[in-house]
Structure 1
């Protein structure tokens, strides 16, 4: 048995089980080296032993990943101080009240994707405004039209009224990114007081006001029991003629059948990066719509975003090992984390 001096000098144990992420996707060689230099890293991703997680839980200082953690497992993890989700969503497979009551910090990496998603969302909005990808397809098919004749339906993003649904990491980063376009920006987020929106130069508005007043709508709302089909048929009917809707967050917040019905009429334009079923079925009717930009859930998934996750994890684990609070990862709010209805991204 180890004596107390040896136990105190041992490196804290970090259980690395990042699925559905891959270890080498989120950790650069340098980041992984820093992690191993300061912690005893147990690579459960490489383990073929289904019982290793349970055997290792009592000694774990941190878990990087989000395996199933029921009450019993959390009770066994008597030294656990951090549970770090590296996929980007908090899943309902953890007994969060028990984790919080045991002093476990529940942390997420959602902010790592914010810049990538914001830039992609802006790109989709510009494409919806000017028809860039549609005209590219027309030229490749030998069906192009030139000069003003090719600009039917084109509008300026500059000074167009904008709506943002959901003002978390993604909404705030997008809001900063579009400042040069001088938009009037209405923001709907029922979890924030109006002062937060107004301090950033936005207009706090109801969902109905935001939809009816905006030509461009960015949908960043998170998936909860309350937000399921937040954009249903009635809400979609509030959108003005020729409104452009950019869907890059959670498919569950939109009634896709109702959206398709309204897109078929040609009254709306849409750029869609998230789908109720992924991959999008080959026979999906959305593939036939000429007023839709199709995107295969790629807004945030770029190498720079993935690598920033590993750096954030190592930086915050080093702080916590010194008895300091994490500063780079996003802490889960006990009042909110149980409300999410997120699913892993494939």
Structure 2
């Protein structure tokens, strides 16, 4: 059988809604995907239901999923007689894996954390610079007809500061790359990173409270797991230096939000928050009205550029899978426990 003939036998099911396809795929990535097998597209402008998925999954080698896709449940797996690969065009795979049965069946799983993390790391740097340079309050004063050229609005430079990263996973490592030109000292806290690995990253490992007390800028990158629930509480917040910057683009549950509000009322430090305990952020939240806080509606990782990056990188990864090459973005079962 020819190579093209073998490709024609591969069934690829795309769960992405019809009206979102152009958000993820360029014409080039579509050509590559179509060359890899027979692609069946979602005909609806919405995700499949579980019933619609299980009716289509028989004979499919690969299923492409994204945010709000129907999970690969055990009922779906009962019909997935040929399934070898789940390519998740989003971050955490937990929403689409209600159980670990896929691993029992030898099905391999991919996710797009790296493609998203590139955008998150840029957002972290942007938020640090925006807070430090007081861009928003200065702009507000100027728009109101005032003159913000005073000591209260002087720039807080990033160059030469000490930055503490809580969690040293993929996003934090991209942040480290972006911070290098600023000559900062980087502290890290992560129970899964050894001293040798930290040295390789150019990071000094510290216990959580020591890191918070010593850093000028603290950025959270830990996953949402039981061990990290409200890891930043009243006592930890009290350790932040006067004038410090606190950035959270990870998960809202990492911080005791009520304690954060109370500490921010003291006007000792500044915060930039992209995530909250409840999302969307309540309309009456005090965080919306504080001058020393930047609030964003969980925008750090997903934008038009990152969606296309997700699509391009995932199609390349599917091609690597079919070519028998090592996979770069595989999610192994043992990784699930430390994923958000």
Which residue in the other structure is 1:41 paired with?
39
Give the Cα separation in 2 of the matches to 1:268 and 1:21. Answer: 43
Change (3 A) 1:324 1:149: closer
Q: Provide, for residues 120-170 of structure 1, a one-character-per-residue CA deviation record: whole Å limited to 9, x for no partner.
A: 211111121121111011100113332x43535x42211111100111121
Which residue in the other structure is 1:61 paired with?
61
How many angstroms does 1:320 deviate by? 1.6
Which residue in the other structure is 1:220 paired with?
221
TM-score normalized with structure 2 length:
0.90
Gaps (5+ residues) in structure 2? none
How many angstroms does 1:92 deviate by? 4.4
Give the Cα separation in 2 of the matches to 1:10 and 1:107. Answer: 22
1:110-129 → structure 2 map (5 Å cutoff)? 110-129=113-132
> Is contact 2:17-2:44 (8 Å) kept?
no
Give the Cα separation in 1 of the matches to 2:74 and 2:106. Answer: 14
Which residue in the other structure is 2:151 paired with?
149
> Is contact 1:44-1:53 (8 Å) kept?
no
Which stretch of structure 1 is more off in the superposition, 186-195 or 293-302? Answer: 293-302
How many angstroms does 1:304 deviate by? 1.8
Give the Cα separation in 1 of the matches to 2:234 and 2:180. Answer: 31
Q: Provide, for residues 298-332 of structure 1, a one-character-per-residue CA deviation record: whole Å limited to 9, x for no partner.
A: 222222211011111211212222333323xx211
Change (3 A) 1:54 1:227: same
Change (3 A) 1:47 1:289: closer
Give the Cα separation in 1 of the matches to 2:45 and 2:202. Answer: 50
Aligned length: 333
1:266-345 → structure 2 map (5 Å cutoff)? 266-327=267-328, 330-340=329-339, 342=340
Give the Cα separation in 2 of the matches to 1:283 and 1:79. Answer: 50
> Is contact 2:124-2:249 (8 Å) kept?
yes
TM-score normalized with structure 1 length:
0.88
Q: Provide, for residues 174-224 of structure 1, a one-character-per-residue CA deviation record: whole Å limited to 9, x for no partner.
A: 111111221111111122222111111110111112111101011111111
Structure 1 stretches of 4+ moved >4 Å: 6-9, 47-50
> Is contact 1:92-1:338 (8 Å) kept?
no
RMSD: 2.5
Change (3 A) 1:44 1:299: same
Give the Cα separation in 2 of the matches to 1:21 and 1:134. Answer: 39
Which residue in the other structure is 1:176 paired with?
177
> Is contact 1:225-1:339 (8 Å) kept?
no
Give the Cα separation in 2 of the matches to 1:188 and 1:339. Answer: 15
